[in-house]
A and B are shown apart, each in its own frame.
Chain A
Amino acid sequence: MMGQRLVSSLLSRCLYASHRILNPLTRQERKLGLARRISQRFSTLTAIEDPVTPPVEVKYTKLLINGQFVDAASGKTFPTLDPRTGEVIAHVAEGDSVDIDCAVKVARKAFDEGPWPKMTAYERSRILFKFADLIDEHNDELAALESWDNGKPFEQSAKEEVPLLSRTIRYYAGWADKIHGLIVPGDGAHHVQVLREPIGVAGQIIPWNFPLVMFAWKVGPALACGNTVVLKPAEQTPLTALYAAALLHEAGLPDGVLNVVSGFGPTAGSALAGHMEVDKIAFTGSTGAGKIIQELAAKSNLKSVTLELGGKSPFIVMDDANVDQAVELAHSALFHNQGQCCCAGSRTFVHERVYDEFVEKAKARALKRVVGDPFKQGVEQGPQIDEEQFSKILEYITSGIDSGATLVAGGGRAGNKGFYIQPTVFSDVKDEMTIAQEEIFGPVQTILKFKNLNEVIQRANASPYGLAAGVFTNNLNNANTLMRALRVGTVWINCYNLLDAAIPFGGYKMSGIGREKGMDSLNSYLQVKAVITPLENHAWL
Chain B
Amino acid sequence: MAENGNGSVKEGFEMPEIKYTKLFINGEFVDAASGKEFETRDPRTGDVIANIAEADKVDVDLAIKAAREAFDHGPWPRMSGYERGRILHKYADLIEQHIEELAALDGIDAGKLFAFGKAVDIPGAIRMLRYYASAADKIHGETLKLNGAYQGYTLKEPIGVVGVIIPWNFPSMMFFLKVSPALAAGCTVVVKPAEQTPLSALFYAKLAKEAGIPDGALNVVNGFGPTAGAALTSHMDVDNISFTGSPEIGSVIMQSAATSNLKTVSLELGGKSPMIIFDDANLDMAVGLASAAVFFNKGEICVAGSRVYVQEGIYDEFVKKVIEVAKGWVVGDPFDPKVNMGPQVDKVQYERVLKYIEYGKRDGATLLTGGKPCGEKGYYIEPTIFADVKEDMKIAQDEIFGPVMSLIKFKTIEEAIERANCTKYGLAAGILTNDINIANRVSRSVRAGTVWINCYFVFDADAPFGGFKMSGFGRDQGMNAIEKYLQVKSVITPIYNSPWL
Interface residues of A (CB under 8 A from B): 122, 125, 129, 167, 170-171, 173-175, 177-178, 180, 191, 453-454, 476-477, 480-481, 483-485, 501-502, 519, 533-540
Contacts and interface: CB of A to CB of B under 8 A. Distances in A.
A51 to B, nearest CB: 36
A484 B499 contact: yes
Contacts of A540: 444
A534 B86 CA distance: 45
A361 to B, nearest CB: 30
Contact of A535 (B133, B441, B498): B441
Interface in B387-424: 413, 417
A533 B444 CA distance: 13
B3 interface: no
Interface in B443-470: 444-445, 461-462
B89 A129 contact: yes
Contacts of A177: 131, 461-462
B81 to A, nearest CB: 8
Given A122-B127, A484-B500, A502-B138, A533 B436 contact: yes
B497 interface: yes
Given A178-B462, A536-B441, A501 B137 contact: yes
A535 B440 contact: yes
B437 A167 contact: no
Nearest to A486: B499
B82 interface: yes
B387 to A, nearest CB: 29
Interface residues of B, number: 33
9 interchain residue pairs of minimum CB distance: A174-B134, A539-B445, A484-B498, A539-B444, A480-B495, A536-B437, A481-B497, A485-B499, A191-B440
B7 interface: no
A288 B256 CA distance: 67
A481 B496 contact: yes
B462 A174 contact: no
Chain A interface secondary structure, helix, strand, loop or mixed? helix
B138 A174 contact: yes
A480 B134 contact: no
11 contacts: A171-B137, A174-B85, A177-B461, A178-B134, A480-B496, A480-B498, A484-B495, A485-B499, A501-B82, A539-B441, A539-B444
Nearest to B445: A539
A519 B140 contact: yes
B479 interface: yes
Contacts of B494: 477
A178 B132 CA distance: 10
A178 B479 contact: yes
Contacts of B137: 171, 174, 501-502
Contacts of A454: 497
B133 to A, nearest CB: 7
Most buried by A among B134, B441, B493: B134
Given A480-B151, A538-B444, A125 B134 contact: yes
Interface in B114-140: 127, 130-131, 133-135, 137-138, 140
A481 B494 CA distance: 10
Contacts of A167: 82
A191 B439 CA distance: 11
A538 B440 CA distance: 8
A538 B498 contact: no
Residue with the greatest number of chain B CB neighbours at <10 A, chosen from A175, A177, A476: A177
B408 to A, nearest CB: 21
B82 A537 contact: no
A538 B441 contact: yes
A299 to B, nearest CB: 35
A318 to B, nearest CB: 14
Nearest to A539: B445
A519 B140 CA distance: 10
B288 to A, nearest CB: 23
A485 B497 contact: yes
A495 to B, nearest CB: 15
A177 to B, nearest CB: 5
Nearest to B417: A539
A129 B90 CA distance: 12
A172 to B, nearest CB: 9
Contacts of A538: 441, 444-445
Contacts of B493: 476, 480
Contacts of A178: 131, 134-135, 138, 462, 479
A536 B138 contact: no
Nearest to B80: A500
A539 B468 CA distance: 15
Nearest to B133: A174
B440 A533 contact: yes
A502 B85 CA distance: 14
A119 B500 CA distance: 44
A167 B441 CA distance: 45
Contacts of B440: 191, 533, 535-536
B47 to A, nearest CB: 39
Contacts of B135: 174, 178
Contact of B134 (A173, A453, A519): A173
A164 to B, nearest CB: 11
A483 B140 CA distance: 19
A343 B188 CA distance: 39
Interface string B132-173: 011101101000000000010000000000000000000000
Contacts of B497: 453-454, 481, 485
A485 B498 contact: yes
A167 B136 CA distance: 13
Nearest to B140: A519
Nearest to A536: B437
Contacts of B499: 484-485
**From A174, A175, A177, A480, residue with most partner B Cβ within 10 Å:** A174
Interface in B81-105: 82, 85-86, 89
Contacts of B127: 122
Contacts of B441: 535-539
A537 B412 CA distance: 13
A390 B212 CA distance: 48
B482 to A, nearest CB: 11
Nearest to B495: A480
Nearest to B132: A174
Which has the most chain B C-beta neighbours within 10 Å: A129, A539, A540? A539
A268 B86 CA distance: 38
